[in-house]
Amino acid sequence: MTVTEAKKIGSRQGLLSVIIGLIIAQLIMTGLISSDKEFIKAFFWFTTIDYKLNIFIGAAIMLICGHLYGQIAGTQILIKKRNFILVGFLSGMAVLLTTAFFAGWTGFFQEGLDNIGTNDDPFEDYIFKPLFWVTIFGFIPALLVGIWFGAQIKRKARINI
């Protein structure tokens, strides 16, 4: 197993894990909104919001992070023989936190700059609150998908041998 092969396996599994994470996020949002609205409207919640750009940028950042952290995880699990459960979970949390942090800056630059110096705290509203809530709702999915991600990397390496 070469470093290049390990990175390739990690990247593929990272992207697949991000897609699974995005599906889970969609299901969480649908579940939260469906208590107030019918299922179809709840499922298409993203069509009625004002922050579509933030969601799109967040998904793009998440895919990039999945690729990059996946490469790191691939080398950690396959080359350095680190624990796949721990590496998978930490990679999942890294993707989640990095995405939430950088995606929050979209809203900050769109609306928050105008609120600097007022009673509103744009850093809290656009950076820290989203980071907090994404962490709260994303911790368990990141744990589960991260463990699956680490196991898949390890399994794909056995298949390729």
- Are 95 and 18 in contact by the 8 Å Cβ rule? The answer is yes
CA dihedral 77, 83, 86, 87 (to 10 degrees): -10
Q: Domain range for residue 18?
A: 3-160
3-state secondary structure (DSSP) of residue 135: helix
- Are 106 and 122 in contact by the 8 Å Cβ rule? The answer is no
Could you list the mean pLDDT of each consecutive 10-residue stretch along the chain, which spans 161 residues?
Answer: 93 96 90 84 86 90 97 96 95 94 87 72 85 90 94 84 55
Question: What is the predicted pLDDT for the residue at 70?
Answer: 97
Question: What is the predicted pLDDT for the residue at 161?
Answer: 55
Question: What is the predicted pLDDT for the residue at 41?
Answer: 85
Number of domains the chain is built from:
1
